[in-house]
Structure 1
Amino acid sequence: MKMLSQLGLGVLLGAVSFSVCAQAVTQAVTQPADPSAPKTRAQVRADLAAWRAAGYDPFDWLNYPENALRAGRIVAQQRAQQAGATAVQ
């Protein structure tokens, strides 16, 4: 009998935790991201990869402000185009 009640309690806790996780995922997908919220490590790495693909070299100190600004403009344009493409579909 005790094992049956522990099993029931485990199933109940599992269902509650699944429900909470599903609700959190749904909110994260449906609500737009808060731009003032801190970024995750994966987001920072993705940003750096996008900037490097746009021509930014973090070790080029001689051309630092120019290459960072140029890469930032390119990444912003790419993201705006992607946002426009997803809004149209």
Structure 2
Amino acid sequence: MKLFSHIAAGALLGALLAPAAFAQTAAQSYDPSAPKTRAEVKADLVAWRAAGYDPLDWIDYPVNAQQAGAIVAARRAQSMGAGATPATSQQ
């Protein structure tokens, strides 16, 4: 009987701790406010330049940055399989 109570207590403890383990892995998902590594920043710049953004084009700055940002966001959404398109900016 003592063995059964230890097994039951272990099962109960495991059932209570399992959601905490899954919550911790879910917390490691994408967080846009988290600091980026140097490699991630370089990859972002490559993606923005591939979308047509030129950091030296200061004459068309706000428009070209917004357009490139929308293109990069759409490509990321498509690659993640979300199928959702980002909201376009109102001008």
Q: Is TM > 0.5 for Structure 1 vs Structure 2? A: yes
| Unaligned stretches of 5+ residues in structure 2 | 1-23, 83-91
Aligned length, in residue pairs: 58
Matched residue type, 1:70: Q
Deviations 1:36-75 (A, max 9, x none): 1111110000000000000000000100000000000000
Residue 51 of structure 2: aligned partner? 54
Residue 13 of structure 2: aligned partner? none
Deviations 1:2-45 (A, max 9, x none): xxxxxxxxxxxxxxxxxxxxxxxxx88x9313221111110000
- Indicate whether 1:64 and 2:61 are aligned: yes
Q: Which has the higher helix share?
A: 1
| Unaligned stretches of 5+ residues in structure 1 | 1-26
TM-score by length of 2: 0.58
Task: State the 4+ residue runs in structure 1 displaced beyond 4 angstroms.
Answer: none
Residue 83 of structure 1: aligned partner? 80
Residue 39 of structure 1: aligned partner? 36
TM-score by length of 1: 0.59
Aligned residues: percent identity?
69
